[in-house]
Amino acid sequence: MADKYKHDFFNITFPHEYVAVVEINRPEKLNAFKEVQWLTLRTIFQTLSHDPSVRAILLTAAGPRAFCSGLDVEAAAAGTLSSRETDGARQANYMRRHIFDFQSCITAIEQCEKPVIVALHGICFGLAIDISLACDIRLASSDARFSVKEVDIGLAADIGTLTRLPHANVPMSWVKDVCLTAREFHSEEALKVGFVSGVYEGKEGVVEAGLEKAKLLATKSPVAVVGTKELLNYSKEHGVADGLNYTAVWNAAYTQTADMKDAILAGLKKKKVTFAKL
C-alpha cells in the first residue's frame, strides 16, 4: 500500500483491482470518533476521489461489535466542548467554525467522485448515521442496531443526519420518529423503510456483499460510473428541468470517450473489457 494511505485509526487495502476498502480501526472504543479521526477521514476520501487506481470504495469497521458507537464523548468533553468563551456571540462563532469543519470532513465522502458502499454492522449510533448517509449505498448486517442518538445527549444532531435523512427518500413520519425519540431500530426495519438497501447475515455477510458490489462497479466504465454518481447527486438537489439540462451538458463532454464503443462491443461479445484509468 502506498504511504499516502497509511493513517492511524484506519486500515486501507486494495483487495481487488480498482477496489479500495477503508476500515475504521478503533475497535477497542467501538470505533468511536475523536477529532483526528474525522480529519483523517477527509484526507482519505479526498485522496481516493482522484486516485486513478480506484473505481469503487467499501467502507467498513474493525471488530465484531460496532461499526461506530458515535462521537467519543470523553475526548470531546476534554477538547472542543471544554473551551468555552464567556461571551455568547464569541462562543457561538467558535462552535460554528467547529461544526462546519467537522461536517466538511464527512461531506468528503459524498464529494468523492467514486461511489462509496458502506457495510454497517453491530452498533451504529450517532455519528455512524451521519457517516452512512454521506455514502451512496448502505448495506447492513442482520445484527446491526441503529440510533439517531443525539437527542439523548441534549443535542440536535449536527453532522449531517438531520440534513441528509430527509433527502434519503425514506418516509418522513418515520424519519421524525427515529430522530425525535432516539429509539433503536434494527436491520429489518431499516430495510423496510429503505434506509439500507440490503441486509446480510452477520458482519461477514455484509462485508462480502459490499465487496462483491464494489468489485462489480469496478468492472464498469469509470466514465459512466463517475457520471452516474454526480448526476444523481445533482438531480436530487435540483428541479427536473435543471437536472435534465445539467445532464445534457455533462454528457456533451463525457460521451466523447472510447468507453462507449468498448463497452458495447464487450456486451455483444460477452467479453471483459479494459477501460483506461480516470
According to CB under 8 A, which residues from 44 to 103 bind its own copies? 50, 73, 81, 87-93, 95-97, 99-100, 103
Can you tell me which residue has the cell 486500515? 11
Quick one: cell of 152? 439523548
Q: Which of 29, 43, 158, 208 binds its own copies (CB under 8 A)?
A: 158
Nearer to its own copies, 65 or 215 (CB): 215
Q: Count residues contacting its own copies (CB under 8 A)?
A: 107
**Other CB atoms within 10 A of residue 49 CB:** 17
What is the rounded distance in angstroms from the CA atom of residue 200 to the CA atom of residue 188?
10
Nearer to its own copies, 9 or 133 (CB): 133
Name the 3-class secondary structure at 179.
helix
Q: Which of 256, 269, 272, 274 binds its own copies (CB under 8 A)?
A: 256
What is the rounded distance in angstroms from the CA atom of residue 117 to the CA atom of residue 268?
29
DSSP E strands, 62-120: 66-68, 116-120
4-12, 36-44, 157-165, 200-208 -> range binding its own copies (CB under 8 A): 157-165
Site for its own copies in 226-245 (CB under 8 A): 226-232, 235-237, 239-241, 243-245
The DSSP bridge pattern shows strands 137-141 and 56-61 to be unpaired
Binding mask 115-144 for its own copies (x = CB under 8 A): x--------------------xxx------
By C-alpha distance, which of 181, 182, 185, 205 is closest to 194?
Answer: 185
Q: Which of 3, 28, 82, 173 binds its own copies (CB under 8 A)?
A: 173
By C-alpha distance, which of 102, 173, 110, 180 is closest to 147?
Answer: 180
Site for its own copies in 7-46 (CB under 8 A): none
- Sign of CA pseudo-dihedral 60, 62, 65, 71: negative
Site for its own copies in 174-203 (CB under 8 A): 174-177, 179-183, 193-198
Site for its own copies in 201-220 (CB under 8 A): 213, 216-217, 220
